[in-house]
Structure 1
């Protein structure tokens, strides 16, 4: 036994006494702890904020520069394609008007209501279809087909059913977003580990309780991805609807965009397009933040 201990000592500290083993091992363990703490350490808040902001600022600068170069090339006259020097002052003027904010509020109200309805419809369809094999075979391809169908193709039917009304716009928003949300939930349920399902059944989970406490939490990452994609479809459907379905004197963002086109007011038209783009980017960042938080809580965030 003493010979074995001496061999271990020689392998750790060649030629060293037995008393140094503890010190050497302590230093090695301390080094491993330091490496682990360094791997776990995260940069400061300012550094993380700057790391996420500067790529966006760089992309904006590149986009504005390319835009200005196209304008300077003379490809189109400035009354058709104005440059940043004309558009951004118009954007500032729009932002100073109360009518603009009223139109923005109307657009966002439609977006929130339509997307909320789409979540309810998509979640119910996805939950039922994912667990009933007959419905999966019968309607699985149909849901995917509805997802790939252009939203604007629904508007003739929507106007026929609901005339020029809020219902027509909400109808198309739901049809545009619900299939993506349903497919996201279906994919999440499909990738739920079978061992979790067996464990849940052993614990007595059945029916709605199985969904509530096991399947839905397990499928949440894929469901969030479906929500993100569903929002993109909902936002595009809403913009198309506001361009086609003009209701009385309700001056939404889409209506302002159409009026600017009719009046050949290119600076105002592009300014409104920038607002629509910024809203889409902000919502996308919110969904990305929710996805990162979810992955971090489940230990899936490599950072």
Structure 2
């Protein structure tokens, strides 16, 4: 209830700001700063027109495909770096550097390599999240308590048994955190890809609003993007991370 009240107050402040700076003082123009009512009207129009549902469905499918590919590649890269010290010393710093690149930097490569189609958007989504997943997995394995591995070795565990039964489970809390971060990066990268090369999707609807000079549509789509990002994080990764941390004794059960 307190959270709902907070957002009601936030919307009230937004409406008051609109009234003062647009209607009364005339400092801002209505086409540069929308009111909550205008955004709601556009939101309702996009729902009635079925544009919003089509865009959401298309974006979610792309996101799931891109994220799963990034997850697979990221974990493989991490396992290779963990296994071979020479590769780790040289590849991990490179991945750290590549992670800092904005996703939009990969769009020219995507268009030149794959053209303006689904593959280019998936490529941008994958590249936008794969390095954060790999780095988090590497960090999680390196930062486990050494006593776990020592205790396992004294009981005869070695090789794959030690690796998959002790080391990986011990690193799971940090690996899940990396997966959670990778999901948010994939969501951001997807929007960047859709804004420049998609015919459908939330990013394309956002760009359509910009090209039409409709700031209300831009704001409405931005709110949808934020809400969906929070919903996925809350319902999937937050629960998974809490469960893993509880199993590892790092968090008390509520």
TM-score (norm 1): 0.76
**Aligned counterpart in structure 1 of residue 194 of structure 2, from 216, 220, 242:** 242
Q: Is the 8 A contact 2:81 2:91 kept in 1?
A: yes
State the Cα distance separating 1:158 from its structure 2 match. 1.4
- 1:174 equivalent in structure 2: 126
- 1:301 equivalent in structure 2: 251
- 2:14 equivalent in structure 1: 67
**Aligned counterpart in structure 2 of residue 229 of structure 1, from 164, 175, 181:** 181
- Is the aligned partner of 1:98 residue 2:50? yes
1:18-37 equivalence runs, <5 A = none
Q: What do residues 185-220 of structure 1 show as CA deviations (whole Å, max 9, x unaligned)?
A: 111101222222123334444433333211111100
TM-score (norm 2): 0.90
- 1:12 equivalent in structure 2: none
State the Cα distance separating 1:137 from its structure 2 match. 0.9
More displaced 10-residue stretch of structure 1: 89-98 or 172-181: 89-98
1:1-303 equivalence runs, <5 A = 54-55=2-3, 57-72=4-19, 73-74=21-22, 75-246=27-198, 250-286=199-235, 287-302=237-252, 303=254
Query: What count of residue pairs does the alignment treat as equivalent?
Result: 247
Q: Structure 1 regions of 5+ residues with no counterpart? A: 1-49
CA–CA distance in structure 2, aligned partners of residues 244 and 206 of structure 1: 50
Q: What do residues 235-268 of structure 1 show as CA deviations (whole Å, max 9, x unaligned)?
A: 111001000113xxx3211111111211122222
CA–CA distance in structure 2, aligned partners of residues 142 and 121 of structure 1: 16
CA RMSD of aligned residues (A): 1.8
More displaced 10-residue stretch of structure 1: 177-186 or 262-271: 262-271
Specify the SS of the correspondent of 1:300: coil
Q: What do residues 81-101 of structure 1 show as CA deviations (whole Å, max 9, x unaligned)?
A: 210011112212322333321
Structure 1 runs, 4 residues or longer, greater than 4 Å off:
none
CA–CA distance in structure 1, aligned partners of residues 117 and 157 of structure 2: 45
State the Cα distance separating 1:223 from its structure 2 match. 0.5
State the Cα distance separating 1:222 from its structure 2 match. 0.2
Q: What do residues 124-158 of structure 1 show as CA deviations (whole Å, max 9, x unaligned)?
A: 11122123211111112111111111111111111
More displaced 10-residue stretch of structure 1: 61-70 or 84-93: 61-70
CA–CA distance in structure 2, aligned partners of residues 232 and 79 of structure 1: 30
Greater RCO structure (CA 8 Å; 6+ sep): 2
CA–CA distance in structure 2, aligned partners of residues 207 and 165 of structure 1: 44
